[in-house]
């Protein structure tokens, strides 16, 4: 043992990108999650990208059934899970077929050769065996019969063959753990916890993990193991790794606690938002009430009812659900009740591609209701940023008595990164004021307003002397009485718009990253933030006049945005749709914002964004020269 250890060569690198790909039954997500946990605990910066199979129940070994997980970790500040992996672990021909083209040239390909028979190749739509036809030349190919190796490692156990084979992914994790010098302890701990009721399975998995590790060490197949030192640039503090949906839930709970209100979530299962319902359902000990409704409309109805009752109503969904909720959002606008509506976007239209990411619900969030129906829109930009976005959504909803739409997307919802955990005491208090009991002498006026925020007064049913009626019919300001008066309607429509506009007074200014006064400005929102930040930082560092603004609020825009846009010579709006933010920017500011778009169910690579930036810069210089 000691002897082999000393033979291990370590190569110090500053980052690694690894991707696991296999059948949806191969446990790729679990494998990726464990490597991520360990990596987080080892103090690296990291970003992950789980890419779920297009079809949940696709037949084994076929292309639509391929599930993948990419992890990038580093000793420096990173913003994306990386473009091309350095190492690809492919568990079958289909996984190889789908993912090999993204592997870096001269990258390492670890491939399980167990199932490369004619039938397997046919299922993966290979005419020839890629292991033999030379198509993998240029990669460092390491062929392993993982099934045989795993069975051998578990020969002494009493498990049946099927159960042994199911430890294959953990064996592979053992190999990769050695390759990247990752600690085995967190995974061992996890396995013993997960299979606590089946100790035999737990120990078999631990054995497979250790055997894979040892195999990698002694087989001589790998020239060296890689070591990535802990990240040192990070600001001091306590960190944990969080996924976007997870951070979003924590932000909601934190904001509810800071406002002193109980949170009520009304929700209906939908990919990729269901985890919000699942997670909040485990926070009952924090007083969080979750209600799985009969449909999307009932889900938001219950949230509105809870807000009417004086609690914090929240509803979570994805694009199709947001469409169903639009009438109810209109009611919340009309009755001026606080409400948070979460849309974890996925590729559309209609059912679209539920497990794939997209940002094409922006205009739906902005305009998808009847009548003039303004709703503030806050966006989560990265997995960890989802915490702040959710906190902000609650803060504004309560301060302005308005529904707020919180946009996230599948990419950040399921992606993860380190999060510097704030202390509870460092989070701002959220002041909430209810109408005080009256003596019944004066008629209560539910539409009296705060002169600064224009928020109406909030009276909890049950309060003596405050009985009143509200509803979706146009009402007179102040008294709340039904009114069809022409001038009053104009006044109320203007007022509801003005209320949302005033939120600009309460949100942070936009910040330019990269070049401080760039000629080319990327303007982005939401989940593209990682790729755009990385591109802007790299290009500006290389001396290019390129910067970026990544918006937290899309409605209203931050007050300083217009000046930033006008100061730059060219505005590029990269987004995963056909140009929705670009359309809003052009109509709002009459600025010649150019969309840079992609709708493939996949996030931008930093490389794509960098090229777009350089092309814009070149075009600009060309123009300047010819002028």
Partner 1 sequence: MSTTGTPLTKKDFKSDQDVRWCPGCGDYSILNAVQTAFAELGKKPHEVAIVSGIGCSSRFPYYMETYGFHTLHGRAPTIATGLKLANPDLDVWVVTGDGDALSIGGNHLIHVLRRNVGLKILLFNNRIYGLTKGQFSPTSERGKKTKSTPMGSVDEPFSPIGLALGANATFVARSVDIFAQHLVAMVKRMDAHRGTSLLEIYQNCNIFNDGAYKSFTDKELRDDRVVELHQGKPLLFGKNLDKGLSFDADLRPRIVEKADAATWDEHRANPAYATALAHADEASLPVPIGVFRDVARSPFESDLRNQLAVAGERKTESLDELLLGNETWTVGS
What is the rounded CA–CA span in Å between residue 296 and residue 323? 9
| Binders of partner 1 in range 120-179 (CB under 8 A) | none
Binding status of residue 185 toward partner 1 by CB under 8 A: no
Please choose, out of 17-25, 141-149, 238-246, 511-519, the segment that lies near partner 1 by the rule CB under 8 A. 238-246
Nearest to 208 by CA among 165, 154, 163, 244: 154
Of 85, 93, 90, 39, the C-alpha closest to 231 is 39
Q: How far is the CB of 321 from partner 1 (least distance, A)?
A: 14
* Tokens at 432, concatenated: 């909430």
Cis peptide before 272 (omega within 30 of 0): yes
Give whichever of 211 and 300 is closer to partner 1, judged by the CB atom: 300
SS3 73: strand
Tell me whether strands 108-112 and 87-90 are parallel, antiparallel or unpaired.
parallel
| Least distance in angstroms from the C-beta of 477 to partner 1 | 17
Q: Is 235 in the site for partner 1 (CB under 8 A)?
A: yes
Closest approach of Cβ 465 to partner 1, in Å?
Answer: 6
In the complex, the smallest distance separating the C-beta of residue 281 from partner 1, rounded to whole angstroms, is 10
Our finding on whether 191 is near partner 1 (CB under 8 A) is no
Smallest distance, Å, CB 9 to partner 1?
27
Q: How far is the CB of 291 from partner 1 (least distance, A)?
A: 6
Residue 289 within binding range of partner 1, rule CB under 8 A = yes
Are 310 and 458 in contact, with CB atoms under 8 Å apart? yes
Find, among 576, 581, 553, 510, the residue nearest to 380 by Cα: 553
Task: Return the residue of 234, 432, 504, 599 that touches partner 1, per CB under 8 A.
Answer: 234
Closest CA to 305 of 460, 454, 448: 460
Complex with partner 1: residue 218 or 289, whichever CB lies closer: 289
| Site for partner 1 contains 269 (CB under 8 A) | no
Question: Per rule CB under 8 A, is residue 270 in the interface with partner 1?
Answer: no
- The residue among 132 and 439 lying less far from partner 1, judged by its C-beta, is 439
Nearer to partner 1, 194 or 607 (CB): 194
* Contact assessment for residue 440 and residue 464, using Cβ atoms and an 8 Å cutoff: yes
260 binds partner 1 (CB under 8 A): no
- Is residue 468 close enough to count as binding partner 1 by CB under 8 A? yes
Q: Which two tokens stand for residue 386?
A: 């989802």
Q: Minimal distance in Å, beta carbon 251 to partner 1?
A: 10
Q: Does 543 bind partner 1 (CB under 8 A)?
A: no
In angstroms, what is the minimal distance from the CB of 249 to partner 1?
A: 10
Binding footprint of partner 1, residue count (CB under 8 A)? 78
424 is an interface residue for partner 1 by CB under 8 A: yes
- 74 touches 13 (CB < 8 A): no
Within 10 angstroms of residue 395's Cβ, the number of other Cβ atoms is: 22
Q: Give, as ranges, the residues between 8 and 67 that touch partner 1 (CB under 8 A).
A: 37, 40-43
Q: How many residues can be counted in the chain?
A: 627
Q: How far is the CB of 470 from partner 1 (least distance, A)?
A: 6
Binding to partner 1 (CB under 8 A) within 352-411 occurs at none
One residue of 473, 578, 615, 618 binding partner 1 per CB under 8 A: 473
| Burial environment of residue 618 by CB neighbours within 10 A (0 to 12, 13 to 18, 19 or more) | exposed
The set of residues, in sequence order, having a beta carbon less than 8 Å from that of 176 and lying 6+ positions away, is 18, 20, 35, 87, 89, 110, 182, 216
Q: Please identify, among the stretches 106-114, 205-213, 298-306, 523-531, the one whose residues bind partner 1 according to the rule CB under 8 A.
A: 298-306
Q: Is 443 among the residues that bind partner 1 (CB under 8 A)?
A: yes
Query: Least Å distance between CB 167 and partner 1?
Result: 23
Least separation, in Å, of the C-beta of 330 and partner 1? 8
**Strand extents, DSSP E, 75-189:** 87-90, 108-112, 140-144
Name the nearest CA neighbour of 472 among 327, 311, 571. 327
Q: How far is the CB of 336 from partner 1 (least distance, A)?
A: 13
The yes or no reply on residue 186 touching partner 1 (CB under 8 A) is yes
CA distance 322 to 303: 14
Q: Confirm or reject binding of residue 552 to partner 1 (CB under 8 A).
A: no
Give 167 or 231: the residue with its C-beta nearer to partner 1.
231
Query: Hunting for tokens 């039954």 — which residue is that?
Result: 25
DSSP 285: G
Give the separation between CA 194 and CA 192, rounded to whole angstroms. Answer: 6
Q: What SS3 class is residue 555?
A: strand
Dig out the tokens for 254 from the structure.
């934190």
If one asks whether residue 238 binds partner 1 (CB under 8 A), the answer comes out as yes
457 lies in the binding site for partner 1 (CB under 8 A): no
Identified binder of partner 1 from the candidate list 453, 481, 483, 488, rule CB under 8 A: 481
Q: Smallest distance from the beta carbon of 289 to partner 1, in angstroms? A: 6
Among 143, 192, 227, 240, binds partner 1 (CB under 8 A): 240
Within positions 314 to 333, which residues make up the interface with partner 1, using CB under 8 A? 327-328, 331
Choosing from 113, 129, 163, 463, the residue that interacts with partner 1 (CB under 8 A) is: 463
Kindly state the DSSP code that residue 262 receives in the 8-state scheme: -
Name the residue among 102, 60, 81 with its Cα closest to residue 17: 81
Residue choice 21, 191, 264, 347 for contact with partner 1 (CB under 8 A): 264
- Residues 101-138 as b/e (b if ≥16 CB within 10 A, e otherwise) read ebbeeebbbbbbbbbbeeebbebbebeeebbeeeebee
Please report whether residue 423 would count as binding partner 1 according to CB under 8 A. yes
Q: Which helix (H) or strand (E) holds 424?
A: none
- The reply to whether 284 sits near partner 1 by the rule CB under 8 A is yes
338 binds partner 1 (CB under 8 A): no
**Beta strands per DSSP E along 318-412:** 339-345, 377-379, 403-409
Q: Is 407 left (phi over 0), alpha (psi -120 to 50) or beta?
A: beta
Cβ nearer to partner 1, comparing 480 with 574 = 480
In whole angstroms, the minimum distance from the beta carbon of 414 to partner 1 comes to 17
The residue from 313, 321, 383, 556 that contacts partner 1 (CB under 8 A) is: 313
């Amino acid at each position: 043992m000691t002897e082999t250890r000393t033979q291990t060569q370590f190569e110090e690198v500053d980052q690694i990108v690894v991707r696991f790909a296999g059948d949806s039954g191969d446990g790729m997500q679990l494998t990726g999650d464990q490597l991520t946990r360990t990596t987080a605990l080892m103090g690296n910066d990291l970003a992950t990208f789980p890419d779920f199979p297009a079809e949940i129940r696709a037949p084994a070994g076929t292309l639509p059934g391929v599930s993948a997980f990419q992890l990038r970790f580093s000793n420096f500040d990173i913003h994306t899970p990386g473009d091309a992996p350095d190492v690809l672990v492919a568990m079958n021909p289909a996984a190889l077929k789908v993912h090999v083209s993204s592997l870096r040239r001269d990258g390492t390909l670890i491939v399980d050769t167990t199932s490369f028979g004619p039938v397997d190749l046919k299922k993966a739509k290979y005419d020839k065996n890629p292991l033999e036809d030379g198509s993998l030349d240029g990669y460092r190919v390491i062929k392993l019969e993982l099934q045989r190796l795993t069975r051998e490692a578990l020969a002494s156990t009493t498990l049946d063959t099927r159960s042994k084979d199911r430890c294959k992914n953990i064996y592979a994790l053992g190999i990769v753990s050695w390759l990247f010098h990752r600690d085995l302890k967190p995974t061992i701990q996890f396995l013993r916890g997960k299979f606590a009721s089946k100790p035999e399975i737990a120990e078999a998995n631990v054995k497979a993990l250790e055997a894979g590790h040892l195999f990698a060490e002694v087989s001589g197949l790998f020239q060296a193991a890689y070591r990535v030192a802990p990240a040192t640039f990070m600001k001091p503090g306590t960190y944990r790794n969080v996924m976007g949906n997870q951070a979003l839930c924590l932000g909601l709970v934190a904001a509810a606690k800071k406002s002193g209100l109980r949170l009520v979530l009304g929700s209906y299962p939908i990919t990729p938002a269901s985890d919000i319902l699942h997670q909040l359902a485990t926070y009952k000990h924090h007083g969080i009430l979750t209600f799985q409704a009969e449909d999307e409309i009932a889900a938001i109805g219950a949230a509105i009812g809870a807000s009417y009752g004086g609690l914090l109503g929240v509803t979570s969904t994805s694009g199709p659900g947001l469409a169903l909720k639009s009438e109810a959002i209109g009611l919340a606008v009309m009755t001026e009740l606080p409400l948070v509506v979460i849309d974890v976007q996925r590729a559309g239209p209609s059912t679209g591609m539920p497990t794939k990411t997209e940002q094409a619900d922006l205009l739906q969030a902005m305009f998808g209701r009847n009548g003039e129906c303004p709703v503030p829109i806050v966006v989560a930009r990265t997995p960890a940023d989802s915490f702040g976005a959710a906190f902000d959504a609650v803060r504004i909803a309560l301060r302005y008595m308005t529904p707020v739409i919180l946009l996230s997307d599948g990419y950040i919802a399921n992606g993860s990164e380190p999060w510097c955990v704030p202390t509870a005491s460092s989070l701002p208090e959220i002041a909430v004021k209810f109408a005080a009991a009256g003596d019944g002498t004066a008629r209560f006026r539910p539409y009296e307003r705060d002169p600064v925020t224009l928020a109406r007064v909030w009276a909890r049913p049950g309060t003596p002397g405050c009985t009143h009626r509200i509803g979706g019919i146009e009402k007179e300001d102040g008294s709340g009485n039904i009114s069809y008066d022409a001038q009053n309607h104009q006044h109320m429509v203007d007022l509801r718009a003005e209320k949302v506009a005033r939120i600009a007074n309460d949100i942070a200014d936009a910040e330019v990253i990269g070049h401080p006064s760039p000629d080319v400005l990327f303007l982005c929102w939401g989940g593209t933030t990682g790729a755009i930040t990385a591109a802007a930082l790299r290009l500006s560092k290389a001396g290019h006049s390129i910067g970026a603004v990544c918006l937290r609020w899309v409605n209203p825009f931050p007050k300083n945005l217009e000046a930033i846009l006008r100061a730059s010579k060219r505005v590029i709006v990269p987004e995963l749709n056909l140009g929705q933010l670009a359309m809003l920017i052009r109509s709002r500011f009459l600025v010649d914002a150019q969309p840079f778009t992609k709708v493939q169910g996949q996030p931008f690579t930093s490389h794509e964004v960098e090229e777009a930036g350089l092309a814009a810069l070149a075009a600009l210089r060309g123009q300047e020269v010819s002028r």
